[in-house]
Amino acid sequence: MSPSTEGEILTVRGLSKEYGNRFTTGNVRALDDVSFGLKRGEICGLVGPNGAGKSTLIKLILGIEPRNGGEIEIDEGGGSAVIGYVPERPTYFEDLSAFYNLLYVARLLDVPDAEAASSKMLEDFGLKDRGDDIVRTFSKGMKQRLAIARALIHSPKLLVMDEPFSGLDPTVMMELRGYLKGLKGTGIAVIVSSHELNEIDQICDSILFIKSGKIIKKEDFEREGGVVSLQLTIDNPGKAIMGALAGHRIVSVSPDGGTIVIETPREDVPSILTAVVGAGGQVMESKILQRRAEDMYADVFMKKEGKV
Amino acid sequence: MNELVVHLKKDLKMISSDSIFLISMLVLVVMAFIMAFESSWSYVDGSFGYYSTLTTRYIIERKQVSTLDEYWIGLCNLYTILLTMISSMLLTSEKESGMMSYILTLRTHKWRFFLSKFAIVLGVSTLIAVVSMLAYLIVFSAMDVPFLGVNDVLASMLLPFLTILIFSAIGLAVSALVRKKGAAIALSVVVWLVISLGYATLTSMGESAAFDDPDYDYGTDEWIDFVPLGYKLLIYANPMVLVNGQGDYLDMTGGAILGVCMVIAYMGLGLALFARERTEQGVIKDLLKKVKGMSHKDGEQR
């Protein structure tokens, strides 16, 4: 079944999940009318407080838990051939080699030339020299890399990652971030469930906020039409500078005029800088302001609760 | 590659790298040789008092058949408990490590996953039966005595092999019930004890009931015909009857048919229990939660 929205690899409509049955009390409504879409190549962070329903949503997308209502449409038939999964705590056949752990999954998923694909994955993820070593001897970072390699071995269209940064040291986090950034442009859509907002900032194109089983909102890091907020710090503010910026939407100006924030299409940034410099402005700093995940999280969860 | 073959290759690789499994197999082989020596001593000792002092080929063969039967009975009593325990770890080891949950996310067919485990169980049971037979033949070949024909030797192996296989299937069913290896081993021991002691109790009570029957004539009647039907049904439902009940309750053909039916039944039970595998909890914990939920609901209503 293909998603109804063009370009979407994953469409979720009215999804609901309740734990418990008619014989038990205190049934928990883990998901309630959840709807969202994920485009091809989009990396989306799934963020919410503990118990929000993130893991339940992931299990339903993977099909390992039955849903009580709603639809999940995944492009090109769905099933494990399309989805790759990195669980929160990756598990392996610890007494078997890294190569065999990959080979087993590759064979199960009918990957052509499974041996060659497994070798290539080990190489791509810097595990070539450890391919014949048993997984029990691997460090946490190596196991995480192996988990991603295993999830990608069959070239999925959708990668689902549950708390991939949990318990990792900064070095491994940076490595993992690098691998995930490397997925941009490959066309693989990624859902990353994580509490690490800093990492979400650096790798995600959008954030999906979930709380108490409901989707609060889905927000893109970059606004529609590629509009960005450009902040200029100018050493010699004046009317000439302001004149150069006429025709652009000025969001704010500091009292001394030295810091100006302009909202403009990304492709106009070079011409704006040229115009300001041409008008005699001494640009000390220019940067594109982006709403950070922490700001979004605070807006969604903490301002509403009066905590900020 | 066929999914079943993929699972099977993985399982073979896992057991061949599992030191506990390899040690267990070694122990079973050693036990076979010990029992063979024990049986050979009994044979030589001539402790079959009901035979006459006149030795004929028929008597020698009857003595060997008895020795062989005693050998298998002794071995099966040990093998059944060990193999139930070993088989009970086949699924729980993957459940405990979390790999089963991951494998099930790959949308594999559960029945093929389970069948792969059963194939391992079948292979191990066959190997043990063959090794045990070889141990007996090796020990007795050193004794330079007239021996039974190949057909008799192989036929003696059939019901013990089925018994071993049935208990391995029971172990596999136990493995589908629980999540932890320790719990699986403990439960498999309990199940074995219930089956084993149950058989001993039922046969004892059945025989007593037969002898106590007023219509039974010790001199002319077969006591087996006077065992009440209820006892007989329970005895036939017990896997121990295949080895321990030969001659009294079963003949070879009946035993083979019953054995095959039991193998299929316990394999089906294991498959049915495994088919419920959906969460990481075992069936027992799931049931307990439901019962707690029901009693809590009752409490609230009061």
pLDDT in single tens digits along all 302 residues of chain B = 789 999 999 999 988 888 888 888 898 899 999 988 888 877 777 655 555 566 777 777 788 888 888 889 889 988 999 999 999 989 998 888 888 888 888 878 888 899 999 999 999 999 999 999 999 888 888 876 666 777 888 888 899 999 999 999 999 999 998 888 899 999 999 999 999 999 999 999 999 999 888 888 887 878 888 889 999 999 999 999 998 887 788 888 899 999 999 999 999 999 988 887 654 445 555 566 666 765 554 444 43
| Same-domain status, A168 and A122 | yes
Residues present in chain A in total? 308
Strand partners, A217: A209
- The predicted pLDDT at position A122 comes to 94
- The predicted pLDDT at position A78 comes to 53
Compute the nearest-CA separation of B21 from chain A (Å): 13
Residue B266 in contact with residue B164, Cβ under 8 Å?
A: no
| Same-domain status, A242 and A176 | no
| Same-domain status, A141 and A269 | no
Q: Do B105 and A80 touch (CB under 8 A)?
A: yes
Inside any domain, residue A301: no
- The predicted pLDDT at position B301 comes to 42
Inside any domain, residue A133: yes
**Which residues form the domain of A196?**
8-220
Tokens 């999540």, residue located: B179
Q: Do B13 and A96 touch (CB under 8 A)?
A: yes
**How confident is the prediction along chain A (308 residues), in pLDDT tens digits per residue?**
344 456 788 899 998 888 876 565 667 788 888 999 998 889 999 998 888 889 899 988 888 788 888 888 887 655 556 889 999 889 999 999 999 999 999 999 999 999 999 999 999 998 999 999 999 999 988 999 999 999 999 999 899 999 988 888 888 888 888 888 888 778 889 999 998 888 888 888 899 999 888 888 887 776 555 678 889 999 988 888 888 888 888 888 888 888 998 888 888 889 999 999 999 989 999 988 866 777 777 777 776 555 54
Inside any domain, residue A304: no
Using CB atoms, which residue from B14, B103, B279 is nearest to A96? B14
Compute the nearest-CA separation of A175 from chain B (Å): 24
State the distance between the two ends of chain B, measured CA to CA, in whole angstroms: 59
Using CB atoms, which residue from A66, A89, A104 is nearest to B10? A104
Residue A22, SS3 per DSSP: coil
Inside any domain, residue A155: yes
- The predicted pLDDT at position A1 comes to 39
Residue B195 in contact with residue B239, Cβ under 8 Å?
A: yes
Inside any domain, residue A271: yes
What is the interface size between A and B, counted as CB pairs within 8 Å? 74
| Same-domain status, A96 and A232 | no
Tell me how many domains chain A contains.
2
| Same-domain status, A245 and A135 | no
Domain boundary among A220, A235, A263: A220
Residue A204 in contact with residue A221, Cβ under 8 Å?
A: yes
| Same-domain status, A238 and A187 | no
Tokens 């078997």, residue located: A96
| Same-domain status, A239 and A177 | no
> For the domain that residue A247 is a member of, what is the CATH number?
3.30.70.100
Would you give the DSSP letter of residue B250? Answer: B
Sheet of A249-253: strand order equals: A249-253, A259-265, A227-234, A283-289
Using CB atoms, which residue from A24, A92, A114 is nearest to B99? A92
Q: Do B289 and A24 touch (CB under 8 A)?
A: yes
Mode of pairing for the β-strands spanning A43-47 and A158-162? unpaired
| Same-domain status, A147 and A268 | no
- The predicted pLDDT at position A4 comes to 47
Cα–Cα distance for residue pair A31/A214, rounded to 1 Å: 6
Compute the nearest-CA separation of B287 from chain A (Å): 11
**Which residues form the domain of B119?**
3-301
- Show residues of chain B in contact with A65, CB under 8 Å: 278-279
Inside any domain, residue A17: yes
| Same-domain status, A36 and A182 | yes
Take residue A14 and report the two structure tokens written for it.
């009215």
- The chain B residue lying nearest A79, using CA atoms, is B107
Provide residues of A within 8 Å CB-CB of chain B.
Answer: 20-21, 23-26, 62-66, 79-80, 85, 87, 89-96, 100, 104-105, 107-110, 114
| Same-domain status, A47 and A140 | yes
Among A19, A22, A23, A25, the residue to mutate for chain B (most B Cβ within 10 A): A25
ipTM of this complex prediction, to 2 decimal places: 0.79
Q: Do B300 and A25 touch (CB under 8 A)?
A: yes
Using CB atoms, which residue from B97, B107, B294 is nearest to A80? B107
- The predicted pLDDT at position B280 comes to 44
Q: Do A87 and B101 touch (CB under 8 A)?
A: yes
Tell me how many domains chain B contains.
1
| Same-domain status, A257 and A275 | yes
- The predicted pLDDT at position B196 comes to 94
> For the domain that residue A134 is a member of, what is the CATH number?
3.40.50.300
pLDDT tens profile A247-281 = 888 888 888 888 998 888 888 889 999 999 999 98
- In order, the DSSP letters of A100-134 are HHHHHHHHHTT-TTHHHHHHHHHHHTT-GGGTTSB
Exposed, middle or buried by CB within 10 Å (0-12, 13-18, 19+), for B108? Answer: middle
Provide residues of B within 8 Å CB-CB of chain A.
Answer: 1, 3, 6, 10, 13-14, 17-18, 97-99, 101-108, 278-279, 289-290, 293-294, 296-297, 300
